[in-house]
Structure 1
């Protein structure tokens, strides 16, 4: 489906096509609503029949229908039938509430889970180019807006439509000219509704955009609260949130002003229709051309026909909010990843051998970050990638994990192009420790076992010991059962890194990928981790990126990147002896450069 076709298709039609499992529930809910609405209009007919019995007695419509001529008996039959109608209406009203609300909740649940799952599979680059708050706004607020419409608005639209049809049929069977008069306001209401709908659509689209901006800022600020406090920027950030909230308020005000103006228009139309029925119908009764019982029915039916249309303003409001939100949900679901999972699996256990052949890579439309990289990491060896900031080290690791694909060239794992492998085969063979170690809300043990949920407590504790984390974990109030805050904020940066390292170790990966895994620890802890890594990496393929050259000194091979190119490669001793960029960086970090008399 092209982008234009997707834009032209109505959101509700697209939901109907996408989620076929809802159709039986929708049909059941609509059917119950139809029965409820039929029962709802019956009391007015019964009132007319009762008036007809009182006025005409044995010649009444009820007498002719049932063959009962006693007025008391006729009223008794009307009362009994009225009780039955009320029981049916009450029962179907309850059942309708249950069906529509459960349907709304089910749609809300399924769409939120589907959208979240879809977001998880979008490219890392897509997430980096957007805002967390905007995505959260779609997953929470927009899904909730659709739920509100399905819960209230959809049912009201169906009930109102049925009301017009049923009452119209009664009017048409009674008096064609009163039908024309009573229905005369409806075209005005329909035209007004269409005009308001076109006016409200862009207004509510603007509302959804403004709430996305506000949510994005709130999420970002709460995540960066320590930075805000450190720079005493609380007042400035409050002013920024106030400005965005005010824009959201004003966007809502514009939409509310337009939607609120709709109700007075409907009321005037109702007044015209009701007055015509009351006045002209009353004259017809006085002239003897219309039965008084039928006149009573038509007066009540005019009210029944037109008054529910006052809800159209509120329903239209819910509809436009719901459709604006649905478009945002569907637009999110229409996003397609460029990094698509392969289908190949391997029967042999992974060894972790890595090869890059003539790899060029970059971000978006920007120039290349890597310029024809050739690199080989044999299985079981420890290789390090070093270089200045911006040299392309992190980009290289993203290619290994297939967070992005190269613009040209190949990235191979055990001789297989990573683009051909499924996620479990590729990422299941890798243990990854990011520079910014992320922890989930939960216990320490749950965070360590995140990559291996079935791990035993003994295995978790062993992994923590290998990552030099056992000491501080056991000192926590509840040890491994201690709850860590959201994103692990209750722990220091070094503690988070050690838990992230334990998490990777526990997975027992064929390939261990470390991105500045000791950047946030002190020298003593770094030495402890290095001793642990010497054990963990023995016989295990390891690719590490580091600024601290002391952490890569024992690597089997060190690759030096400069401006996206490999300029040197060798062991630590070989590179120092060569006197190139690595030797210069080593001299700076060890202080040798300060002792150079030149």
Structure 2
């Protein structure tokens, strides 16, 4: 599939591969012919023509090698990027489903190792075609000149390749074991980094260091096992074809002494049999790359086979325009109001379509809403969401419905920006670890506000700030989100005081439609 995606590039690599290897394969035959027809025959005048042919072959090889080098690198990039796009694209498509089905370290290992293994396998395509082509040409020519030696070379080299075959299965198995260990250590590293502050607080760094060292040693041992097999493979790719060269040379010398072949034929056969090491080495390299790519592709395929928890409905129902209500059982969030509910992550996920439920949005069953429209109009912000590494201004500008400045003001995060050395141009570290928990929480809130969704669901949005800051945030968000549906799941009394509704209907989901009135327990309006 990767090769057929760019047929022009694939064809160029194949032609360049043949062009780069054929001159080397044909060169001994040309030299042998030159010896017999010019030097041995006493016709030195013909030698210039043979020299010109050798120079022509050298020029063809030089040009083809340059093109092959470019095509191989381009195919590596194409293969790795294609695999990376498939992984990243499907991971984004899976969304919240992915961390429930696959460990973080496994996904990281795909992006840092597997995609490159796939690229390596694609990169060898041109050289493999060149090796096969040159082998076929040399075999035909050798059989034509001397059937005995030609047959030995024609049969011996494939047998040499087959002799390498038994090493490929343990290599594949050990590469897979190494990949498992690598995923394990990557996952542990990610967990340790994520909880580093907690580990320092409880003095758990040494304990986790010991655990990480043990797992890291397993990765090393698996790598040593792979290296041991690869060393035998490298020895076999020299020894087996070398044995064929020795046999061909010995037989050729005997035939030359008996006068069955000429000195030029002997030199041609020796050079051609020595060249046959190159196709075998290339075949071994391709087999090694294919072995690693097979392991990598299997893991990528496992990711690509994962399906989202919630499929696109067969017949999506459109949501009504304007503010939207949310309702599930006795829980009601009227349209266009600020509703406060007790903290409940599972409820927040059900109301926003991140977990299966019978919730209604704007009177429409959430299962029947087009997923793209649902994600565009309904946003969930959890208390442990992350910031990405990069410039603060770029990270916060998730949308343009509300300016970053207004969102920062509403989240009372102006002091966070002012405290950064370069303001909006300051670079955040991974997951925003360069700022405190309270600062990160306010930046996350500001990022969500720039999108200005029709429904904004916040889980404990001010749990890490002091009461004075929280009071300002509550007041400003209530003003900024006036007339829009905002649901806050929190135990904070400040949010409850500012709420238009407290979200629990006395007699079931009376406010399930977008125009539903506030219930008797909604509380005082602002």
* TM-score using structure 1 length: 0.79
- Does 1:87 pair with 2:59? yes
Match of 1:78 in 2: 50
1:478 matched to 2:422? The reply is yes
5+ residue gaps, structure 1:
1-14, 59-70, 357-372, 388-392, 575-598
Residue 313 to residue 51, structure 1, CA distance change in 2 (3 Å): same
2: CA distance, partners of 1:277 / 1:481: 70
Question: Is 1:546 aligned with 2:490?
Answer: yes
The answer to whether the 8 A contact 1:112-1:140 is kept is no
Q: CA RMSD in A?
A: 2.8
Q: Which has the higher contact order (CA 8 A, sep 6+)?
A: 2
Looking at structure 2, the residues matched to 308 and 283 of structure 1 have their Cα atoms a distance apart, in angstroms, of 26
Q: What do the CA deviations read for 1:389-424 (whole angstroms, capped 9, x no partner)? A: xxxx21121123222222xxx322212233333344
Q: 2:136 aligns with which of 158, 162, 165?
A: 165
Does the 8 Å contact 1:514/1:545 carry over to 2? yes
Q: Distance in 1 between matches of 2:390 and 2:169?
A: 48
Task: Give the 5 Å matches for 1:282-431.
Answer: 282-306=253-277, 308-310=279-281, 312-342=283-313, 344=316, 346=318, 349-356=321-328, 373-386=329-342, 393-406=344-357, 410-431=358-379
Q: Which runs of 5+ in 2 are unaligned?
A: 510-518
Change (3 A) 1:512 1:204: same
CA deviations 1:446-465 (Å, max 9, x no partner) are 3332133x76xxx3222222
* Aligned mates of 1:273, 1:434 — CA distance in 2: 67
CA spacing shift, 1:307–1:425, aligned 2, 3 Å:
closer
Pair 256,460 (structure 1): closer, same or farther in 2 beyond 3 Å: closer
Change (3 A) 1:275 1:468: closer
From 41, 59, 72, the equivalent of 1:57 is 41
Describe the superposition over 1:324-358 as per-residue Cα deviations: whole angstroms up to 9, x where unpaired: 112222222222212234574748533121122xx
Shift of 1:268: 4.3
Secondary structure of residue in 1 paired with 2:435 = coil
Per-residue deviation, 1:248: 1.4
1:14-25 equivalences in 2 (<5 Å): 15-16=1-2, 20-25=4-9
CA distance in 1, matches of 2:451, 2:239: 71
Alpha carbons of 1:448 and 1:243: their partners in 2 closer, same or farther (altered >3 Å)?
A: same
Report the secondary structure of 2:341's partner residue: strand
Task: State the Cα deviation string for residues 361-414 of structure 1 (Å, max 9, x = none).
Answer: xxxxxxxxxxxx343322122222216xxxxx21121123222222xxx32221
Q: Please tell me whether residue 126 in structure 1 is matched to residue 74 in structure 2.
A: no
More strand by share: 1
Q: 1:314 to 1:31 in 2, by over 3 A?
A: closer
Verify the 8 A CA contact 1:466 1:532 in the aligned structure 2: yes
CA gap 1:539/1:51 in 2 versus in 1, 3 angstroms: same
Q: Give runs of aligned pairs for residues 517-556 of structure 1, distance below 5 A.
A: 517-556=461-500
SS at the partner of 2:41? Answer: helix
Query: Are 1:386 and 1:560, in contact at CA under 8 Å, matched by a contact in 2?
Result: no
Q: Give matches, 1:186-201, under 5 Å.
A: 186-201=157-172
Q: How many corresponding residue pairs?
A: 512
1:491 counterpart residue number: 435
- Residue 11 (structure 1) aligns with: none
TM-score by length of 2: 0.89
Shift of 1:440: 2.4
Taking a change above 3 Å as real, the CA distance of residues 482 and 203 of structure 1, as seen in their structure-2 partners, is: closer
The answer to whether the Cα contact below 8 Å between 1:383 and 1:556 also exists between their aligned partners in 2 is yes
Contact 1:341 1:422 in 2 (8 A): yes
